Chain A
């Protein structure tokens, strides 16, 4: 499949950035990249183009930077080369996309590095302190520790200090507050002790604590970052330049959002339309994959509506603008998805729920320790130290690692099974699913046409020999209908209409009704069809249906055995929907459901406290995929559906659904095991800290041991083979 997006030069130029040395750069979002092989292929295609300095694909963000010297034509050639290799490139302006989250991730990594450096060096000194360094050596080592730890804390502790400050400002007591208090308190007391030369110091505990916490936090940020790319992709499609035709016939370029309503827009070959409108030209061939996921170009006739996001696959046409910017269908859908996502974000993550009840407890315990110690007549310094010790040992080092480590490990495992999970939250919610709602077309069924009837065996065979020359989905269906056929020679493609060949003196035509000279009645049922004409004989019609996925029955049964309520909800005709549902063994089925109806069904289920997993692939599913607690879509689905979903099944098999739920349940068990491991550690150490028995060495040992156990447990979840998928 090729996705040629040959943009006109003038549009391309608006995205180009030129640096001081005359090197021009373009950033692209790349469609169709899955793995390292894709990266090698696309770079191998673009780099040899003359004039190209470098084409480099970022596999993590699926973005490509093209650098070249010379005219824009160089870039055009490089883009064409990438298209030929099968990848669609959409230029974007990096300034329009939010880079804040990227900066945040980088900041965390810097903090992590500093904390790691400091803790390693301080540990080196601490070992000698623990093993009984005395006198001047002890004082020297304590001072060096202080000099390393204090600046490092000030630098690397910022993510926590900031969050704690914001939390207090908004009267929220998050986990960051006790962490910050403990960090500040311990280092302050340790500094005081170092100055007056009294007792032990806790520098290494403070910095180690921060180091472990930052690991958990960085892992979490990485997981979140992966899901951002899809949203940015859609955003990038909306910011584009369009060629507006003036009254005098001159064409001017302007940003899509500023095009006056009613003006004529030139929609050139390969260009993505930037506005909504109606077609002014006679006929156009439009790629609607961004809206429908349908890869097959659709014919659009004069006065028919076309939407922003469509790509022109035929000749240049003119479009009369009816809506721009936020008024377009694309923007409206993006808004629907956005709203639904906000609703979904009301969900409280497990880690937050634990820490929310945990934080006040920690503060009470520390305060209680201090008060009781003072009442018992223990001196003030020792009391503060014990309270700080309680804060340190209760600080959820292992707890902070408990959830993210499991999620990262399990996401790696689902990825090996071809399932992309977009958020850790989805994983948590998947474990508590009670209902599964399936779409019909493209979900239970393949969404790919299969030839059912038409013509005689000989005609079908002849058609197949022609069809093998074409990549059109209907042609593919004909070509693969029967036995392997030998391609017919001399087959020509009639652009946008079909195929033509001469065989034994007869003209063969395969394609639209128009091509074969057939006048189709107006009330003809809207089924996928192709006409075939052989010489002077009356043309015959081939029709197609949409077969069930091979594993649909097995997957539905597996879901039902897991005790889940499975139903079908589709926009298709009720009869068809009920028939398909019965075929796979589902009794509850509803057809003719609009996107609004689907959302209403979800809202009703939410009221009954049911956790729903919604599976769909079409544009009309997107809002409900976003609204449902868990939305699942397919690798071949429309961009919007993929954007709205929480999980994407790359391998197009439904058996991945029960597997996904089973893995999520496994992950939940592992998370809770981790929580218990870290709590058990606290149950033992808190009383000891209160009584003042915790020496720095034991605290550090126990802390590391519990963290290691938690990480090890998470790693176990990530291992193992999942058969049958």
Chain B
């Protein structure tokens, strides 16, 4: 059962990582506009390249 000594800290670490990621996202304002975020992924306008970088061709 000595494997537990590694497994439990790993499990906890991963959990804390997920929690930290969520709290960071919350603080970053990613949860400020749930309705808008849901709709934004359907918006293709942001696919147009920025003015100075030429569009890459599909490979």
Chain A residues engaging chain B, CB cutoff 8 angstroms: 35-36, 39-40, 43-44, 57-61, 106, 109-110, 113-114, 117, 120-121, 124-125, 137, 140, 144, 148
Check if B26 sits within 8 Å of A60, measured CB to CB. Answer: no
A117 and B43 in contact, given A61-B33, A109-B31, A137-B1 (Cβ under 8 angstroms): no
Check if B45 sits within 8 Å of A59, measured CB to CB. Answer: no
Report the count of interface residues on B (CB-CB < 8 A).
24
A59 and B26 in contact, given A39-B39, A117-B18 (Cβ under 8 angstroms): no
Distance, CA A120 to CA B22, complexed state (A): 15
Hey, which chain B residues are within 8 Å of A121, CB to CB? 11-12, 15
Q: B34 within 8 Å of A by Cβ?
A: yes
Check if A58 sits within 8 Å of B36, measured CB to CB. Answer: yes
CB distance from A183 to the nearest CB of B (A): 20
A113 and B26 in contact, given A36-B42, A40-B43 (Cβ under 8 angstroms): yes
CB distance from A519 to the nearest CB of B (A): 55
Check if A114 sits within 8 Å of B19, measured CB to CB. Answer: yes
Hey, which chain A residues are within 8 Å of B43, CB to CB? 36, 39-40
B14-50 contacts to A, CB under 8 A, are 15-16, 18-19, 22-23, 26, 31-36, 38-40, 42-43, 45
A113 and B12 in contact, given A58-B36, A137-B4 (Cβ under 8 angstroms): no
Distance, CA A113 to CA B15, complexed state (A): 11
* Cβ contacts A to B, 15 pairs, < 8 Å: A35-B39, A39-B40, A43-B45, A57-B36, A59-B36, A60-B32, A61-B33, A110-B23, A113-B19, A114-B19, A121-B11, A121-B12, A137-B1, A144-B8, A148-B12
Nearest opposing residue in chain B for A59, CB measure: B36
Nearest opposing residue in chain B for A105, CB measure: B31
Nearest opposing residue in chain B for A61, CB measure: B33
Hey, which chain B residues are within 8 Å of A113, CB to CB? 19, 22-23, 26
Chain B residues engaging chain A, CB cutoff 8 angstroms: 1, 4, 8, 11-12, 15-16, 18-19, 22-23, 26, 31-36, 38-40, 42-43, 45
Q: Most chain-A CB neighbours within 10 Å: which of B31, B36, B40, B42?
A: B36
Distance, CA A287 to CA B32, complexed state (A): 33
Hey, which chain A residues are within 8 Å of B33, CB to CB? 58-61
Check if B39 sits within 8 Å of A58, measured CB to CB. Answer: no
Hey, which chain A residues are within 8 Å of B32, CB to CB? 58, 60
CB distance from B45 to the nearest CB of A (A): 6
Nearest opposing residue in chain A for B43, CB measure: A40
A109 and B26 in contact, given A40-B45, A117-B16 (Cβ under 8 angstroms): yes
The B contact surface, by secondary structure, is: helix
Picked from A109, A117, A144, the residue with its CB within 8 Å of the CB of B19 is: A117
CB distance from B2 to the nearest CB of A (A): 11
Q: A109-B31, A144-B12 are in contact. List 6 more A-B contacts (CB 8 A).
A: A36-B39, A40-B39, A57-B36, A58-B32, A59-B35, A60-B34
CB distance from B41 to the nearest CB of A (A): 10
Nearest opposing residue in chain B for A38, CB measure: B39
Q: Most chain-B CB neighbours within 10 Å: which of A106, A110, A113, A124?
A: A113
CB distance from A716 to the nearest CB of B (A): 23
Nearest opposing residue in chain B for A128, CB measure: B4
Distance, CA A144 to CA B31, complexed state (A): 31
Distance, CA A40 to CA B41, complexed state (A): 11
Distance, CA A705 to CA B25, complexed state (A): 31
Distance, CA A125 to CA B34, complexed state (A): 34
Hey, which chain A residues are within 8 Å of B15, CB to CB? 117, 120-121
Nearest opposing residue in chain B for A152, CB measure: B19
Distance, CA A60 to CA B37, complexed state (A): 9
Q: Most chain-B CB neighbours within 10 Å: which of A57, A60, A120, A124?
A: A60
Q: Across chains A and B, which 8 residue pairs bring their CB atoms closest together, nearest first?
A: A36-B39, A59-B36, A117-B19, A58-B33, A59-B35, A60-B35, A60-B33, A121-B15
Distance, CA A191 to CA B6, complexed state (A): 24
Q: Most chain-B CB neighbours within 10 Å: which of A44, A106, A117?
A: A117
Check if A44 sits within 8 Å of B45, measured CB to CB. Answer: yes
Hey, which chain B residues are within 8 Å of A114, CB to CB? 19
Nearest opposing residue in chain B for A44, CB measure: B45
Distance, CA A396 to CA B59, complexed state (A): 57
Hey, which chain A residues are within 8 Å of B45, CB to CB? 40, 43-44
Check if A39 sits within 8 Å of B36, measured CB to CB. Answer: yes
Distance, CA A106 to CA B31, complexed state (A): 9
Q: Most chain-A CB neighbours within 10 Å: which of B23, B32, B35, B42?
A: B35
Picked from B4, B16, B36, the residue with its CB within 8 Å of the CB of A60 is: B36
Hey, which chain A residues are within 8 Å of B42, CB to CB? 36
Distance, CA A58 to CA B40, complexed state (A): 11
CB distance from B35 to the nearest CB of A (A): 4
Distance, CA A35 to CA B35, complexed state (A): 9
